[in-house]
Structure 1
Amino acid sequence: MKKKMIKTLLPFVILAVAVSSAAMLVSSRPVVKPEAAREKIWTVAATTVAIEDYAPDLKLFGQLVAGRETELRALVVGPVIRTGENFVEGGTVKSGELLLVIDPFDYRAVLDERQAQLAEARARMMEITARHTSEIESLKQDQKQLDLTMKDYERIKKLQKKGTVSNKRFDDSRIAESRQSQLVSTRKNNITAFSAQIDQQKAATKRLEVGVRRARRDLARTKLRAPFSGFLLTKNAEVGKRLSLNDPIVKLVEADNMQARFHVSSSQYGRLVAGGGLKGRKAEVVWRAGDRTFRYQAIVDRAGASIQAASGGVDVYAILKGSGIDQPLRPGAFVEVSLKDFNYKQVIRVAQTAVHTDTVYVAKDGRLDPRKVTVVGRAGEDALLRGPIVEGEKIVVTRFAEMGPGMKIEVR
């Protein structure tokens, strides 16, 4: 019985000893303390702060347009008998260069006829003037003769009263005085008539002079010349074609006044106007043709007549310097336009990646120091800002997800 009890308790005794041994081993083992976690150091890039005035470059796109273009039309009627050597589609012509000639025969004949009529009218004028002058001189002589005749009549009249002359002598004297008075009156009437004829002839001569000038102008219009230097487009005339009055002949596009038309937004327009006005502002126009690049200096001339409702912006025109028929420029070319934006006073220029809404981080004592800033403008991929930052400090331009105040950094 005793052996049976020992046999039953033995497993429990062994288990108790094992548990006690394990507990003793656990309690007596050495304790290993965990090491403190190391603070992560972030490698960042930074830019040194410089506070200065800055005017960004506005990069815009536009199109070349001609300062002037006109459709030349026939000013007289007739067949084309000759054209200029550059009278071709796309031809370049200089100011005053001959484009085409309309048959001048009829217009030269009209001019000759008008000139002959004018010469006849002038000769007639000379004749009337001479007769008028002659009548004036004759009137002077007749007036003198009348004075003598009247004196003789008065003398004979006195003698007749005394009975020393006959009645016949008295009557003859009175008749002579009357005839001379009539002659003087006739002379005066003739002078008046000749004066009126002179006025009429002056008017006729003036009218004929106008006719001669008109005929001379029509004759000159048989030769069509370029009113300014440029390029020819849409040619509608050839030798042998009969032109009617006002028929279109060719379109001429001016080459010496090429302009770049480009669009600015409402905000850009406002800044340009506020920053010293738009007119007279310098610009650079770049035209890329294949692998070649052409650069032209330009001056802003004007803004468009209206603001576009869709964009709220306005078209601006800049006149290119050095354009002309010897340049490869043509209307319609797509160009880049660069001009100075508003001049921002005392701003910091920094990469846009450095700006976190209204905050930037300054590298100070190896840690991120947040500063509140105000973004006042843009310059391409950069931001222009003002805030409590001292010149020479370094603004962190690297971004990372865990970025926050006080984080340890290393600037490289």
Structure 2
Amino acid sequence: MASRILKILAPIAVLMGSVGVYALLQASRPEPEKNEESARPTTVYVAEVVEGSSALEVQTQGEVRSRNQIDLVAEVGGRIVAASPEFVQGGTIVPGAALLRMEDTDYRLAVREARARVAEAELAVQQALADQDVARKQLRNDPNPSDLALKKPQVAQARAMLEAAKAGLEQAELDLDRTSVSLPFHGRVAETYVQVGQYIVAGTPLAEVFGTDLVEVRLPLTDAQLAALGLPIGYTAPEGGGLDVAFSAQVAGQRHQWQGRLVRLDASVDPDTRLLYAIAEVADPYGSAASSNGMPLAVGLFVDARIHGRDLQNAMKIPGSALRAGNIVYVVNAEGLLEIRPVDVAHASPDTVVVSGGLKPGEQVVTSAIRNPIQGMALATVSRKEG
């Protein structure tokens, strides 16, 4: 019986002893050192909020196109007997200079025949007037002679025939002039369709040409960009006026710049894109308006455009990199803590944001990225010059 009780109590005694040893070890273990160091602040780049007047600038893009781009068409028929050396792709067009000449023998003969008909008609008028004078003398005693007896219809008919003959002469001379093909403006040849020796008829396309006196750039604008310009839909600039536009493009490995003016806005909004389009013009793009390096603002070139818009007074300016999610700015307060703050954006571009409310002059805004931003998190600031 005693041995049985001993078998039951022995495991219990061992278990209790183990518990006692564990409790003793826990009571005698050393206390861990407490780390009193606070979380390390996140280092960010900041820029200062600047107050002052601000000239709003709209950035957009567009393609250069000629104001005059046409298909040159033959007005008379004939065989092409001569072509100017400039009648090639890229050739220069001078106002009044012949690009093509057609065989004109038939047209010269038509002019001579028309002159003969004019002379014949003039003689007929003189004869009709003489007959009228004779009739008037013969009928001087008739109290009520008829117009026919006085030869009035005959004189009118002779004069009408003379006018028709003169019109025929003008048409013949015009057709003769049209055998020499020229244009009334400066331009370039984009593509040619005919060559010397080819017989053509009136209406045959000869070439595709475009003018170089003036080029246009059609620029898309959003509603916010239109507000920055301060112009109404359908705006037309006065003669010699319009907003300044600076164009730039990468051509032949270099960045080139040109100057133009915004002269009008479309009168309607594009129903597909919901954009409004502005037209900017550059005069003499292949001459005086070329870039400082002599590069022309060539037709077909895709360019960036910066339009000088309206001026805002007492506005807050911050770098474009400080704006997040459309209207959110990260501000570092006087205690070095992050404030996530919504602002009123008057105008935004990739470089500069103009704010009309939500910021004060001298405040610091974060321009670098923050991973997992939290309101009130500690920040360490580093200033840098934007741009």
TM-score range relative to shorter protein: 0.7 to 0.9
TM-score, normalised via structure 2 length: 0.74
Between the aligned partners of 2:332 and 2:46, the Cα distance in structure 1 is 8
Choose between structure 1 and 2: higher strand proportion. 2
**Aligned pairs for 1:248-259 within 5 A:** 248-259=205-216
**Aligned pairs for 1:6-21 within 5 A:** none
Deviation digits for residues 352-379 of structure 1, max 9, x if unmatched? 5545764542442x43374744241322
Partner in structure 1 of residue 282 of structure 2: 320
Question: Does the aligned pair in 2 maintain the 1:257–1:319 contact within 8 Å?
Answer: yes
**Aligned pairs for 1:190-229 within 5 A:** 192-229=149-186
Partner in structure 2 of residue 244 of structure 1: 201
Partner in structure 2 of residue 392 of structure 1: 362
Between the aligned partners of 1:295 and 1:246, the Cα distance in structure 2 is 41
Is it true that 1:295 corresponds to 2:263 in the alignment?
Answer: no
Question: Does the aligned pair in 1 maintain the 2:320–2:350 contact within 8 Å?
Answer: no
Deviation digits for residues 272-307 of structure 1, max 9, x if unmatched? 564566643321122321123332211223445764
In the TM superposition, residue 93 of structure 1 has moved relative to its aligned partner by 0.8
Deviation digits for residues 331-388 of structure 1, max 9, x if unmatched? 2222121113565553322235545764542442x43374744241322154433445
For 2:245, which of 272, 283, 290 is the aligned residue?
283
Between the aligned partners of 2:193 and 2:130, the Cα distance in structure 1 is 56
Between the aligned partners of 1:305 and 1:190, the Cα distance in structure 2 is 61
Partner in structure 1 of residue 3 of structure 2: none
Give, as a single letter, the amino acid of the residue that structure 2 aligns with 1:248: P
| SS of aligned partner of 1:98 | coil
**Aligned pairs for 1:9-408 within 5 A:** 36-37=36-37, 40=40, 44-137=44-137, 184-185=141-142, 192-264=149-221, 266-268=222-224, 270-272=226-228, 274-275=230-231, 279=236, 280-303=242-265, 307-324=269-286, 328-341=296-309, 343-351=311-319, 354=322, 358=328, 360-364=330-334, 366-368=335-337, 370=339, 372-376=341-345, 377-387=347-357, 389-397=359-367, 399=370, 401=372, 404-405=375-376, 407=378
Q: Structure 2, unaligned stretches of length 5 or more? A: 1-23, 237-241, 291-295
| SS of aligned partner of 2:185 | coil
Distance change in 2, residues 1:269/1:234 (3 Å): same
Between the aligned partners of 2:267 and 2:232, the Cα distance in structure 1 is 20
Percent pairwise identity: 19
In the TM superposition, residue 232 of structure 1 has moved relative to its aligned partner by 1.3
> Who wins on radius of gyration, i.e. which is larger?
1
Q: Structure 1, unaligned stretches of length 5 or more? A: 1-22, 141-183
Distance change in 2, residues 1:306/1:389 (3 Å): closer
In the TM superposition, residue 192 of structure 1 has moved relative to its aligned partner by 3.0
Between the aligned partners of 1:47 and 1:190, the Cα distance in structure 2 is 99
Distance change in 2, residues 1:85/1:263 (3 Å): same
Distance change in 2, residues 1:291/1:132 (3 Å): same
Choose between structure 1 and 2: higher helix proportion. 1
Distance change in 2, residues 1:197/1:258 (3 Å): same
Distance change in 2, residues 1:107/1:43 (3 Å): closer
